[in-house]
Amino acid sequence: MSPTADRTTEERPPWLLKPPVHLAIIMDGNGRWAKKRLLPRVAGHRQGAQAVRKTVSACRAWGVRYLTLYAFSWENWKRSRPEVDALMALLEDYLDGEESLMKEKAIRFRTIGNRSRLPLSVLKRIEAVEESTRAGEAMDLILALSYSGREEILAAVRRFGEDVRAGRVPPDRLSEEDFDRYLDTAGTPPPDLLIRTSGEHRISNFLLWQIAYTELYFDPVLWPDFGEENLKRALMDYQERQRRFGAEGDIHSGDHGREAEKV
């Protein structure tokens, strides 16, 4: 089966009238999940990987076009070396186990973030899966790895400054749309909905530019226990919200604030 042929295999449930085009998730609570069970932290990360598989499968079936998962922040490098090594090994295992399914389901895999500190074996595996799934057109699965929202913005400013110095762009005509093209997420619409698990109510340096008009949903469940029912509740809550992007009237998912300029 070709990647594009599988685009029609959505199984959108009747309650989901209009899924978010782009869903972002801060997957929080793996360590606390393990601690509650007197297990090592890596056990929580392993169980969290199972929650990733379930969430990706549901989003693909339900018609979510872009799914961005906050997998490893720039600040996470401060964790103990054994934990970081275990997380990198789990990432390789995940890619090894899911690559064929991503190709079968026409899911394009890619990452955002600073790759400079990733182990070489992890980097090579990422590049291989990015290449092998490049033709996927049904859904983009985006992992934020070694990612910092502030650093992403600073890096975009640096790239813009380089273009100005080289005479490729004028310094006084930078629009929001122009700036978008310098970000790691260039070509991807901003998230319609951001879910954070574990009961924390903060953004933690995630997609700071992109979530200006994103709907936020906080779930008290720890990430390893996040399942289809949790995702369903979040999407049902999202459907009840009226998104105006600062304008009057009802502007729905997928407009991403641009229609507000026309009102």
Q: Which residues are catalytic?
A: 28, 76
Token match 């973030």: residue? 113
Vertex 218 angle, CA 216 and 223, to 5°: 125
* Separation of alpha carbons 27 and 104, rounded Å: 25
Q: Are 211 and 20 in contact (CB under 8 A)?
A: no
3-state secondary structure 9-61: CCCCCCCCCCCCCEEEEECCCHHHHHHHCCCCHHHHHHHHHHHHHHHHHHHHH
Q: Are 42 and 81 in contact (CB under 8 A)?
A: no
User: Given phi > 0 = left and psi -120 to 50 = alpha, else beta, which region is 198?
Assistant: left
Q: Provide the 10 A C-beta neighbour count for residue 119.
A: 14
